[in-house]
A and B are shown apart, each in its own frame.
Chain A
Amino acid sequence: MTIEKNLNGTELSAAIAGRLDTTTAPELEASLKESLDGVTRLVLDFAALEYLSSAGLRVLLAAQKTMNKQGEMIIRNVNETIGEIFDVTGFVDILTIE
């Protein structure tokens, strides 16, 4: 998994590529944790995300909760596989997917 972060004022964009699973989720969690201070808009780009496990969902949920307090979180370029996972797990209800 690779994370490409880009901070523009209070807007943080992060493009995540590869597999977001049990082994890589802690990395994303730590990476977001250190950058979310003062961010009011978090944009996650999933164009190159191949796989998302429940551990990855947990990181997304934590990020969503944090962003609920300080602004908004938007997920972009969700492909079919990932979209299905969001559907099946009901995450579509709480995430803002563009």
Chain B
Amino acid sequence: MKPKFSLKIKSILIVLMIALVLSGTAIFISYRVYATTMDNRYRTTAMDLAKTAAALADPDAVAQYAEQMMQIYRADPMQEPETDEELAAYYARYDDITGDAYYSVLYKALDSIKSNNGDVLYLYLFVLDPDTKTGVYLIDIDASEYACPMGTWDIIYEGNYAVFEDPTIGFPAYISNSEYGWLCSAGAPVYGTDGSVIAYAMIDVSMDEVMADREAFLENILLIMVIATLVLALLLMWIINRIVVRPINSLSFAAASFVSDQKADGEVSAISQLDIRTSDEIQNLSESIKRMERDINQYIEDLGNVTAEKERIGAELDIARHIQASMLPCIFPAFPERNEIDIYATMNPAKEVGGDFYDFFMVDDRHLAIVMADVSGKGVPAALFMVIGKTLIKDHTTPGSDLGTVFTEVNNLLCESNSEELFITAFEGVLDLVTGEFVYVNAGHEMPFICKAGGDFEPYKIRAAFVLAGMENMRYRAGSMTLEPGDKIFQYTDGVTEATNSHNELYGMERLTAILNQVKNQTPSGILPAVKADVDAFVGEAPQFDDITMLCLEYKARMEPKEDDR
């Protein structure tokens, strides 16, 4: 079975996630530290340069230039000449000031600062006009055509308005990205001899190179992180594969082939061949599975022995059941040469050997004995007890013997050999075929059903004596009735009336009486199967708990007495 998400893929995903978070954090922090450091350095440099430039200018000259320039400027501030001619005319108004000898000296001095600091892009001095919130250029160190001659004015950004309140603040260094590229700009006040601020030295330092460095830094660090992550992931994949996935796969394979290994006799099982030495939980698992296999094998072996033993016992019980069944007379018609009687009996044992039995035999030429009995309990003990009981009853029923005496003697004998507290309910009757006299004795057994010729089957109420083998020295007395030709006797065990269906209902006397009377006109060999079929239909799918044993005797005709009997 192939897993949807293998451990390998899971572990790689986890490594990638961790690497992503870690390297992302690392890159972010290092970039920020690097960028902040560089920015601060540039701010300091820009401000230092601006201060140097401010200190370099001669305060008196600058103050004079500023005053003259502002006089011209304020006369008509914020002019915006459009044509080249107008522009030239505008600037020409300041020519008197710029023509001063010191003006070119100042230019050279400031130019030396600019040229000695390669990054300085622009360097100029300007004077603030608080009324128009503008800065008016006093000098711009720029030889290109884009230079701003004296009189050029620039709007001061609102962000810098604090300088109008306190001129000594100047323009603190700030970084911007505009059409001029990345710039770090700063402005330092130029103080006059009286300590007042007369102008500002402005510096713009190019940061394009630094910014390019910064991007390169970002690219490099990203590349390194990606490579490190990939290497780590591959390494981890290899490690996971080696110490987790492979051992688990081999365990899985060995476990899956357990049953097929069992079937292939004599071969060494895959589990016992496992050799996992990871010194961790997986090795423990492997050891446990090996131990489990040994235990299971032991268990299977034990189970096999037990099963074999059970089968042997089962087979022997089966034989016992056959022997038990064959002890009961089972050849019908039982007395084909006699037309005075018709007898039929059946026993359907429950699953195991049981304790029910019936019997019938000729005591002498004119006396037929029938026996119906049920040993309490089930299984082998009941079956053995049944054999004893059946043999004793038959042995003691001799010609001319009183049935009460027979049961009294049998009871005492059974009590002697009864260590298991078993007992037998038994009914025995002896029919005189000549007179129809039916002598019976009942030791705790069900009442027989009698069906008089032309009448119905009815339970024949006789008081039962105590069961056999229950207690010594019980006295049993025989009773008697007279049967006429055409009468039938039906005797059974409680397996019939106590047959139980799946609703836990008992079959009961009423159902038995009803079915008996439905089929009362049939022969005994027709009545019993009909009753059995009715019981089966009632029980349905429910299992049979007790033996179902029945006997039916029909007294068909009187026997002609022999000469010496008269």
A interface vs B, CB < 8 Å?
22, 53-55, 57-58, 61-62, 65, 87-91, 93-94
When C-beta atoms are compared, the residue in chain A nearest to B470 turns out to be A61
A-B residue pairs, 7 tightest by C-beta: A89-B444, A90-B466, A54-B376, A90-B444, A58-B376, A90-B464, A62-B421
Q: List 6 A-B contacts (CB under 8 A).
A: A22-B377, A22-B378, A53-B494, A58-B423, A61-B421, A89-B425
B466's partner among A22, A62, A91 (CB-CB below 8 A) is A91
Q: From B443, which residue of chain A is reached at the shortest CB distance? A: A90
Query: Which chain B residues lie closer than 8 Å to A54 at the CB level?
Result: 374, 376-377, 423, 425, 494
Query: Which residues of A are found within 8 Å of B445, using beta-carbon distances?
Result: 88-89
Which residue of the partner chain B has the closest CB to A63?
B421
Chain B interface helix/strand/loop/mixed: loop
* Partner pick for A94 among B376, B378, B442, B466, CB 8 A cutoff: B466
Distance of A94 Cα from B472 Cα, bound (Å): 11
For this complex, into which size category does the number of interface residues on chain B fall?
Answer: 20 to 34
A94 CA to B233 CA, complexed, in Å: 90
Known A-B contacts A58-B377, A94-B471; the reply to A65 vs B421 at CB < 8 A is yes
A residues in contact with B442, CB < 8 Å: 90
Task: Report the separation of the CA atoms of residues A22 and B467 in the bound assembly, to the nearest whole angstrom.
Answer: 18
Q: Given the complex of chains A and B, what is the CA–CA distance between A87 and B443 in angstroms?
A: 11
B residues less than 8 Å from A53 (CB atoms): 494, 498
Looking at the assembled complex, report how far the CB atom of B292 sits from the nearest CB atom of chain A, in whole angstroms.
Answer: 36
- A69–B447 Cα distance when bound, in Å, is 32
B interface with A by C-beta (< 8 Å): 374, 376-378, 421-423, 425, 442-447, 463-467, 470-471, 474, 494, 498, 545
The residue that B421 contacts in the complex, of A22, A58, A89, A94, with Cβ under 8 A, is: A58
Q: Is the CB of B423 within 8 A of A88?
A: no
* Bound-state Cα–Cα, A38 to B467, Å: 28
Q: Which residues of A contact B421 (CB under 8 A)?
A: 58, 61-62, 65
- Minimum CB distance partner of B355 in chain A: A54
Known: A88-B464, A91-B444, A91-B466. A57 touches B423 (CB 8 A): yes
A30 CB, nearest partner CB in chain B, Å: 14
B461 to chain A, nearest CB (A): 10
9 extra A-B contacts, CB within 8 A, seeds A53-B498, A54-B377, A94-B471: A58-B377, A61-B423, A65-B471, A87-B464, A88-B447, A88-B464, A89-B466, A90-B444, A93-B466
How many Å from the CB of A16 to the closest CB on chain B? 18
Q: What A residues does B447 contact at CB under 8 A?
A: 88
Q: Which residues of B contact A55 (CB under 8 A)?
A: 376-377
- Whether B470 pairs with A88 at a CB distance below 8 angstroms is no
B421, B445, B447, B463: most-surrounded residue (chain A CB, <10 A):
B421
> In the complex, which residues of chain B have a beta carbon less than 8 angstroms from the beta carbon of A87?
463-464
Residues of A contacting B422 in the complex (Cβ-Cβ under 8 angstroms): 58
CA distance A54 to B425 in the complex (A): 9
Picked from B376, B467, B494, the residue with its CB within 8 Å of the CB of A90 is B467
Tell me the bound Cα distance from A22 to B500 in angstroms: 13
Structural contact, A88 and B444, CB atoms closer than 8 A: yes
User: CA separation between A65 and B465, bound complex, in Å?
Assistant: 18
Residues on the B chain within 8 Å of A90, using CB:
442-444, 464-467
Chain B contacts of A93 at CB under 8 A?
Answer: 465-466, 474
Distance in angstroms from A66 CB to nearest chain B CB is 10
Residue of B nearest to A23 (CB): B545
Given the complex of chains A and B, what is the CA–CA distance between A87 and B321 in angstroms? 32
Point out which of B423, B470, B474 has the most chain A C-beta atoms below 10 A from its C-beta.
Answer: B470
> CA of A91 to CA of B494 in the docked complex: distance in angstroms?
16
- A88 and B466 within 8 A (CB): no
The answer for the CA separation of A29 and B443 in the assembled complex, in Å, is 24
Q: State the Cβ distance, A12 to closest chain B Cβ, in Å.
A: 20
Return chain A residues, CB-CB under 8 Å to B545.
Answer: 22
A57-B423, A58-B421 known; A89-B467 Cβ under 8 A: yes
- Give the complex CA separation of A8 and B148 in angstroms: 125
For A22, A54, A88, A89, the residue with the greatest tally of chain B CB atoms inside 10 Å of its CB is: A54
Chain A minimum-CB-distance residue to B504 = A19
Instruction: Tell me which residues across on chain A come within 8 A of B474, comparing CB atoms.
Output: 93-94
* B410 CB → nearest A CB, Å: 15
* CA A54 to CA B377, docked complex, whole Å: 7
Q: Which residue of A lies closest to B506 (CB)?
A: A51
**Bound complex: CA A11 to CA B423 (Å):** 28
Report yes or no: B446 in contact with A88, Cβ–Cβ below 8 A.
yes
With contact pairs A62-B421, A65-B421 given, residues A91 and B378 touching in the complex (Cβ less than 8 Å): no
**Which residues of the partner chain A approach B376 to less than 8 Å between Cβ atoms?**
54-55, 57-58
- Tell me the bound Cα distance from A54 to B382 in angstroms: 12
A65 to B422, CA, bound (A): 12
Alpha-carbon gap, A22 to B498, bound state (A): 12
Give Cα A42–Cα B498 distance, bound, in whole angstroms: 29
Q: Which residues of A contact B470 (CB under 8 A)?
A: 61, 94
Q: Bound complex: CA of A30 vs CA of B445, how far in Å?
A: 27
Q: How far is the CA of A58 from the CA of B463 in the complex (A)?
A: 20
Rounded to whole Å, the gap between the CB of A43 and the closest CB of chain B is: 21
- Closest CB-CB distance, B165 to chain A, in whole Å? 101
In the complex, A90 Cα to B469 Cα: how many Å? Answer: 12
Tell me the nearest residue of chain A to B421, going by C-beta: A62
A93 to B470: give the CA distance in the assembly, Å: 11
Bound CA–CA A58/B418 (angstroms): 12
A94 neighbours in B (Cβ, 8 Å):
466, 470-471, 474
Q: What is the distance, in angstroms, from B278's C-beta to the closest C-beta of chain A?
A: 53
For A22, A62, A93, A94, the residue with the greatest tally of chain B CB atoms inside 10 Å of its CB is: A93
CB distance from A75 to the nearest CB of B (A): 15
Q: Which A residues lie within 8 Å of B423 (CB)? A: 54, 57-58, 61
Q: Which B residues lie within 8 Å of A57 (CB)? A: 376, 423, 467
Instruction: Report B389 CB to chain A, min CB distance, Å.
Output: 14
Q: Output the residue of B422, B467, B494 with the most chain A CB within 10 A.
A: B467
Please indicate which of the listed interface residues A53, A62, A87, A90 has the most CB atoms of chain B within 10 Å of its own CB.
A90
Residues on A with beta carbons closer than 8 Å to the beta carbon of B464: 87-90
Complex CA distance for A9 and B471, rounded to whole angstroms? 29
| Complex Cα–Cα for A89 and B470 (A) | 11
